Amino acid sequence: MSATLLRVAWIHLKRDRVALALCFVLPVVFFSIFAAIFSGGGEGGARSIVVLLADEDDTPTSRRFAETLDDMGALRLSRGPAASESNPDPAPWKRESAHRAVRSGKAPVAVVLPEGFESTFGDFGGDRPAVDLLFDGANPVARATVDGLLQGAAMQAAPDLLIRRGLDQLDRFGGGLTDAQKRALDIFLPVVRGERSPSSVTGDPRDDEAENSGFGGLVPVRATEVGAEEDGRSMVAYYAASISVMFLLFSMVGAAGSILEEKERGTLERLLASRVSPGRILGANWIFYALLGVAQLSVMFAWGAAVFGLDLSSPQRLAGVAVMTVATSAAAAGFGLLMATHCTSRNQLQGVSTVLILVMSAVGGSMVPRFVMPPFMDQAALFTFNGWALDGYLKVLWYDDPSATLGASLVTIGPEVAVLAGLTLAFLGLARRAARRWDAA
Amino acid sequence: MQFDARIRSTHHYASSPVDDPVLTVTDAAKSFGDVSALAGADLTLERGEWIGLLGPNGAGKTTLVRSVAGRVRLDAGSITLLGEPLNQATNSRSHLGLVPQEIALYPELTAEENLRAWGALSGVAKAELGERVDWALEWSGLAERVGKRVKTFSGGMQRRLNVACGILHRPEVVLLDEPTVGVDPQSRERIWGMLEALRRDGASLLLTTHQLDEADRVCDRIVILDHGKVIAEGTSAALKERTAGAGASLQDVFIHLTGRELRE
Ligand SMILES: Nc1ncnc2c1ncn2[C@@H]1O[C@H](COP(=O)(O)OP(=O)(O)O)[C@@H](O)[C@H]1O
Ligand SMILES: [Mg+2]
């Protein structure tokens, strides 16, 4: 009895290729994607974090500190904006320009070495000016990494200061060094700094002003989330966007499944026999799904605003969200139609699109933020619907410039809207092509 | 919808003389891959005439009906509908009624909502729609179930609605593909009643069925199709006399002509 039931179940599974794929292929695909994300493997290697450096101190010690930070490999240090045609020789980052750049998403972290960095380097306590770490709240990983590296860099940057400070203490409390010992130190310390080779230890050592200040403790770091206080930014915006986009795809595919039901029921055939053209059937369905998508996203964002304090009060944000919502819904509705017209049964549609949507969402940043991905994965996101939709939403909800005009803030999402519009056309075109099967046999 | 109403009111087809056939199928051929569904079928439907199209499973009946409805492109041969070659008769939908073999309705909609949808899609003018829906509900015996969703209907009720949705726009030519499958005698009576109402308006009708007694009773003429070709046609009485002899039933004629071998 049981054997018979088992055999029937097995035959069913064997003949349902979609179920088989969901059972065996999907877990493997997912495992691979997440392994690639978190191991940072594959070509392209681990990702290095871009750090903007504003050196307000501009002293040998601050420069040395910066170089050490640069040499640590995990970071890519930027001293100033990239040169452009309008600005062929840009000024180095200043506190304000670096802040703006992090605010607008050009880099996740900026480090500001304050004036007085050198003169107080290594001091314990007191009112040492803190190194400012300006970070993008969307990327806690970058913040934590840079924070740690700053401490490491302080240790590595100035081993000579460390030695000097130790010897100073010996000098003071341990009975003192002879003059000869002190002269030898003056020659030896630059070697530790790497400024000269041991063979060239003749002549006067160039003094570091800092050497008298001693080296103590690690650099004091003051971390500030950019935009958190001034513009009422909150992580809700990030999650609202990434979750909505993924669920939108699921509900669009679910809605478009009605086309397959029409086919199974014979109402599609009846419509076609009533001389309703395939293009009109697709068009009407697309409009309906797109409106449904707009409604769904609107409810999500309204809920986020009402309950989770998502700030949509500025006209720029509201307009930006509206434009992105229309563009995203239009494309997602097209995606639903594309899937429905290429599948032959609701089961197949459900299976195939679950795989596709989950993969696109994982790669496109709906599940794991793209900044933790290795570069090749981050690039792959540009081939997903989620990647573009999310980028657009983040531009208006997260990286927006509160002082920009309405027009200017809409221009920033131009590329995303253009890509989504292109995807819409491509999806609809492919759906129409697949619907040639509906034409008279 | 406005457009269709205008065409109808100008009697677009009045140019074709009343005694011309409303439908002519000439030498129709159609293959699906290496399956030949139609192999040179000929058929003529006169105005106001009812034809019973009989044939074993796989004979090509549905293919013939679908090609008249414009859903099958013939490999060879031609179809003339209401005096116009089929592929140019773009506004024939308001003059043609198709009742498909399967129950093609929206199960989540009520009977009335289905009728409204299919009526509008078949070109019934808005002003006329309410009256036509009422007519259909009355004739299909579904008036007391108007507010109920179709998925709660019995098979017989769904069949009645399926027919009603195909004819409420008062087409001149009606194609019915096995309209009474799985239906009890009461429902069947209702369906014939509805069609009789159309017949009084002068509608012509092409009906495929396996209920030979029914075809015998309601049809003016019988056409028997086998292997994609018409193998016999005439009034039921003439066919009986010609083939199986006096006292024979249409069933005898059918078996005599198409053999006892099982088909699809
Ligand atoms: N769309 C189609 N694709 C492939 N074969 C078809 C198609 N429609 C009909 N056929 C085949 O054509 C033949 C005639 O079918 P059909 O017209 O449905 O017969 P009937 O309605 O008389 O039972 C059958 O062999 C059937 O399998
Ligand atoms: Mg059939």
Span A316-334, pLDDT tens digits: 889 999 999 999 999 999 9
Residues of chain A with pLDDT under 70: 39-47, 121-126, 158-177, 180-182, 184-185, 187-218, 229-234
Which tokens in the block code for residue A404?
Answer: 């920009």
Is B73's CB within 8 Å of A441's CB?
A: yes
Residue A129: its pLDDT value, please? 79
> CA angle, corner A255, sides to A254 and A259, nearest 5?
105
Q: How large is the average pLDDT for residues B146-170?
A: 93
Structure tokens, A191: 């070697």
3-class SS of residue A225: strand
pLDDT value at residue A212: 31
Q: Whose CA is nearest to atom 11 of ligand 1?
A: B37
Sheet-wide strand order for A109-113:
A75-78, A49-55, A109-113, A131-135, A221-225
Domains annotated for chain B, with CATH where assigned, are 23-258 (3.40.50.300)
Helices (H), ranges, A47-205: 60-71, 95-103, 140-157, 159-173, 179-193
Predicted confidence at residue A335, as pLDDT, reads 96
Is it the case that residue B4 has pLDDT exceeding 60?
A: no
Report the SS3 class of residue A112: strand
Q: Phi and psi of B28, rounded to 5°?
A: -70, 130
At A173, list the tokens.
């409390």
Instruction: Give yes or no for residue B209 having a pLDDT over 90.
Output: yes
**Partner-chain contact A266 B118, CB within 8 Å:** no
Q: How confident is the model at residue B89 (pLDDT cuts 50, 70, 90)?
A: low
The predicted model scores a pTM of 0.79
So what's the pLDDT on residue B118? 95
Q: What is the DSSP string of A167-209?
A: HHHHHHHSS---HHHHHHHHHHHHHHHTSS-GGG--SPPPPPG
Report yes or no: A340 and A260 within 8 Å, Cβ to Cβ: yes
> Which comes out higher in pLDDT, residue B50 or A181?
B50
Question: What pLDDT does B115 receive?
Answer: 96
- pLDDT value at B240 more than 90: no
Amino acid letter for position A147: D
For ligand 1, is residue B180 a contact (CB within 6 Å)? Answer: no
Q: What is the ipTM of this complex?
A: 0.88
Contact between B107 and B149 (Cβ < 8 Å): yes
Q: What is the pLDDT of residue A64?
A: 83
Please indicate whether residue B59, judged by its CB atom, sits closer than 6 Å to ligand 1: yes
Chain A residue numbers with beta carbons less than 8 Å from the beta carbon of B73 are 440-441
Burial per residue of A190-224, b for 16 or more beta-carbon CB atoms within 10 angstroms, e otherwise? bbebeeeeeeeeeeebeebebbebbbbeebbbebe
Task: Assess whether the C-beta atom of B97 lies below 6 angstroms from ligand 1.
Answer: no
Q: For residue B86, is pLDDT > 50?
A: yes
For ligand 1, atom 8, name the residue with the nearest CA: B63
Q: Return the pLDDT at A122.
A: 61
DSSP-based three-state secondary structure for B2: helix
Average pLDDT, chain B: 87
Domains along chain A with CATH numbers: 49-226 (3.40.1710), 235-440 (no CATH)
Least confident of B90-99, B102-111, B161-170: B90-99
* Of A42 and B67, more confident: B67
